Structure 1
Amino acid sequence: MTLRIAWGITGCGDYLKESLEIMKEVTREHDLEVRVFLSQAGEMVVKWYKLFNDLKSSFPRTFVEKSPNIPFLAGDLQLGKYDFLLILPSTSNTVGKIAAGISDTLLSNAAALAMKAKVPVYIFPADQREGEITTDLPGGKKLTLTMRDIDIEAVDKLRKMHGITVMGHPDEIREIVKKHIEGKRSSWI
């Protein structure tokens, strides 16, 4: 009764290290089967933050986007090979595409087809509240960013979409995993 998770990582560096640490922790705690799918920008950012080796050693089944259908994630989601799709963390670009119904990348395509197949999609957009955020850059420097109205509007649109849950913080994955494990247990009874 293993929980199978497709974890998508976009080119967002905000909360990237925290997301990796949380995913390693919940995978150890619950013996999850996690496959990681990096967007092309995700691979670049994971390497820029010097987290690629840690990611690959912690999650050996890590794949990098070659096209919207390679690796074959969307089809596997539709076939029920994963309990849910997690996009953590997500850029405003990926959020905007999903909110607009554009599925021209591996992760936006996976989200669209998962929703059609009623596979839950959980997404953590770094840019989701008005105002400024301070993020950590590689090497420890801080960067303050001002959120754009258009990005906030896209997140609000996601919140209204059936089949998508917008996470407020990466820590929420702990409760999401517990909920899905309990759901699997009750379906076996």
Structure 2
Amino acid sequence: MLDGVNVALGISGSIAAVKVVELAHELRRQGATVRGVMTESAQGIIHPWAVEFATENPVVTEITGQVEHVGLCGRSGWADVLLLAPATANTVGKIATAVDDTPVTTCATTALGADVPVVVVPAMHEPMYDHPGVLDAIETIESWGVTFVSPRIEEEKAKIATEDAIITAVASTVGSQPLVGQHIVVTAGATKESIDPIRVLTNRSSGRTGRAVARECHIHGAEVTLIHTGDDVHYAQTRSVESTADMRSATFEMLDTGVDALICAAAISDYTVDTAPEKIRSGKPRTLELEPTEKLLDGVRNAYPDLPMVGFKAETSGDEESMVAVAESLRDRVDLSFVVANNASVMGDAETRAIIVDDSTTVINDSKQVLGASIANKLAEKFDE
């Protein structure tokens, strides 16, 4: 996700600095090269040696005659992005008024003057975050094009955002955004059909692929609505659903507002049952009458004949030729932009084996995040045609 990206990581004196070692490791896992910059206060919380260990690069702890801030964040500097994590109220306020009396704020002043992208991840006690001056400073800095990653408000603290949210923000800031201006609806996860108030009929889908697609569409600049069977996510508006009927209803409600594309990655139940009003007692054989559910893609195509749509087709054969043939059949029947043929054996895994079937085929044997990026890029190509 961050292959080849140089990240200058500015660390200020919040207790959240204790999380910086793992953040630096995660940035590097995603392909970035990281160099640390620390305020004196930050050094009282985490030793520069720990940051040097995590980044495998020397850490800037003072600005010397080597003008480290220019070397890192100047117009011809090393950094592709300056990531301030954590950023204290003190640091945010100083950046808003161009006070550069620490290595971190000096790098920030330099980066903003040199048009180097800046991502700010605040962390402080909640009353400090709610201070009018801090809120004004955030608004000012955002007006300059700086990306803020909202904190998690818990236990009267504005806690540092999750690593996932920070990585997503950095990727969005440094990457190309060919989907800017597009509103994309993504469905994800396994729907559940109630058998009785306790039991459900469902499948093994985890929703990881659909969430990866939604995240990558966001990183590529789109406004994303995720309709799924999980919790809220930081990279999309979410609609939480359970049954096939719920997903169908939520999808049409969103489409009726006017969107630019639908990516149907959900593993929607093919069958439903009449729900028993009370728990079915165990110990006796039972027969369930399975009724076919309506096909969401067909319904959407009938209602929106010109809407760009991407379909998914999970198969168990593992045979590439058969998977492609089934995907082509679905593509042609529903007039889809393209279809992703999934090998069902990877359900729930972080890695995937999938084939993107358009006029040609692209085989993806990689992470589901890589598959998501490939789908976002392919959709952008369709919009450009």
Both proteins in one fold, TM over 0.5: yes
Helix, strand or coil for the counterpart of 1:61? Answer: coil
Aligned residue runs from structure 1 range 135-174, under 5 A: 147-160=130-143, 162-169=144-151, 170-171=161-162, 172-174=165-167
Of the structure 1 ranges 110-119 and 70-79, higher mean CA displacement relative to structure 2 is found in 70-79
Gap runs ≥5 in structure 2: 152-160, 178-376, 378-385
Deviation at 1:86, TM superposition (A): 0.5
Quick one: distance in 2 between partners of 1:149 and 1:69? 37
Residue in 1 that maps onto 2:101:
104
Helix, strand or coil for the counterpart of 1:168? Answer: coil
Helix, strand or coil for the counterpart of 1:183? Answer: coil
Residue in 2 that maps onto 1:135:
none
Larger radius of gyration: 2
Gap runs ≥5 in structure 1: 133-144
CA RMSD of aligned residues (A): 3.0
Residue in 1 that maps onto 2:114:
117
The structure whose residues are more often helix, as a share, is 1
Quick one: distance in 2 between partners of 1:117 and 1:18? 29
Instruction: Verify the 8 A CA contact 1:40 1:65 in the aligned structure 2.
Output: yes
Matching residue's letter, 1:43:
Q
Higher RCO structure, 1 or 2 (CA under 8 Å, sep 6+): 1
Instruction: Verify the 8 A CA contact 1:63 1:71 in the aligned structure 2.
Output: no
TM-score (norm 2): 0.38
Matched, 1:76 2:58: no
Match of 2:55 among 49, 56, 59: 59
Quick one: distance in 2 between partners of 1:182 and 1:64? 26
Helix, strand or coil for the counterpart of 1:45? Answer: coil
Helix, strand or coil for the counterpart of 1:7? Answer: strand
Match of 2:176 among 165, 176, 183: 183
Aligned length: 165
Deviation at 1:93, TM superposition (A): 1.2
Aligned residues: percent identity? 24
TM-score (norm 1): 0.72
Helix, strand or coil for the counterpart of 2:107? Answer: helix
Question: Deviations along 1:144-175, whole A, 9 cap, x unmatched?
Answer: x7853332332232222x13111114332221
Deviation at 1:73, TM superposition (A): 2.4
Residue in 1 that maps onto 2:381:
none
Instruction: Verify the 8 A CA contact 2:40 2:61 in the aligned structure 1.
Output: yes
Quick one: distance in 2 between partners of 1:163 and 1:181? 13
Instruction: Verify the 8 A CA contact 1:10 1:89 in the aligned structure 2.
Output: yes
Helix, strand or coil for the counterpart of 2:68? Answer: coil
Matching residue's letter, 1:117:
A
Instruction: Verify the 8 A CA contact 2:38 2:60 in the aligned structure 1.
Output: yes
The 3 A distance-change label for structure 1 pair 83 and 64 is closer
The 3 A distance-change label for structure 1 pair 158 and 35 is same
